[in-house]
Amino acid sequence: MKRMKCGVLWAALVSVLSLTSCLDGDNTNIQNYNEIMKVDKLTGLYVSQMGYKINPLNAGDLQGVPVESGYIQLHYTYDYTQDMSDGEVDATIYGYSTISEGLWMPQAPTEADADAPVSAVEVTSSDATYFFYKLDDMFLPIEFFVRKGVDTNDLDDREEEMSKHQFTLYYNADEDFTEKGMTLYLRHKLLEVEEDDEFTVLSGGWWHFNIIDAMARYQERYSKRPDKITISFERNTKDISYGEDVLTEGKVDIDYEKVKDLNEALSGSKSAVRLLAR
């Protein structure tokens, strides 16, 4: 399994738990990973798209962490010499990022549905598989301006602010689907805005989008999945205005072929947990 290198935005979104022993550099058997995982609410385990499950040794530290989307980004350590033959891995969680749920819209949003640009979508095509869980669940780290006075280092304060930002994807199959790929459009809406609110603090978060509907439409046309997914968004790196001098079209490309290749490889693997071996 590949360990993802966090960018500046991603690192800022990680809530670090008060742990020291899990980062003990003297134990050469300890491995350090981070990945997006599915939350199994019944068992309390975290399921990797690779097939194995993470059993958190410090589960109490994660109580109360919001899992609105059913997914979470975990940063953990584990001893690779442990018995993992049953598909479960005992691990210590030392950090996490919550993931909010995004929306789908069947048509281009009106002014009432989208009213603020974003600063960036921090996706790197070379690490395309990190932004997917299997084939149809996509995750976007989005950078945008939040209200002045929000303490982005306080979990409760940050989560309350994130709930007041709505992100939606839409597409136009007739215009934006080609044999090589598809374009999806990201739009941002501010919720519960007060007259004196000022959006001056740059922050961000992770959003989950299930793109099975767009994939089904694409496969109807081309009898295959796309090779590339392009995310288009309204970009303003200075504020939340739509001024002509500051607004541009932002685009990021995701190499979806890598996502397909990974899933094909996993479907033929009888022991995905071996990917955790050193």
Q: What is the pTM of this model?
A: 0.88
Q: What is the largest CA-CA distance in the chain?
A: 59
pLDDT of 111 reads 74
Mean pLDDT for the chain?
Answer: 86
The separation between CA 197 and the C-alpha centre of its own chain, rounded to angstroms, equals 27
pLDDT band at 20 (very low <50, low <70, confident <90, very high): very low
Residue range 113-128: mean pLDDT, rounded: 87
With the C-alpha atoms ordered 17, 11, 253, 104, is the resulting torsion angle positive or negative? positive
pLDDT band at 8 (very low <50, low <70, confident <90, very high): very low
SS3 content of the chain, % helix, strand, coil (to 5): 20, 40, 40
User: In which element (H, E) is residue 55 found?
Assistant: strand 53-56
With the C-alpha atoms ordered 133, 99, 234, 118, is the resulting torsion angle positive or negative? negative
What's the rounded Cα separation, in Å, for the pair 56 and 72? 13
Q: Which residue has the higher pLDDT, 110 or 190?
A: 190
pLDDT tens for each residue of 44-53: 899 999 889 9
pLDDT of 13 reads 52
Residue range 190-205: mean pLDDT, rounded: 92
pLDDT of 5 reads 41
Q: Which residue has the higher pLDDT, 128 or 220?
A: 220
pLDDT of 268 reads 65
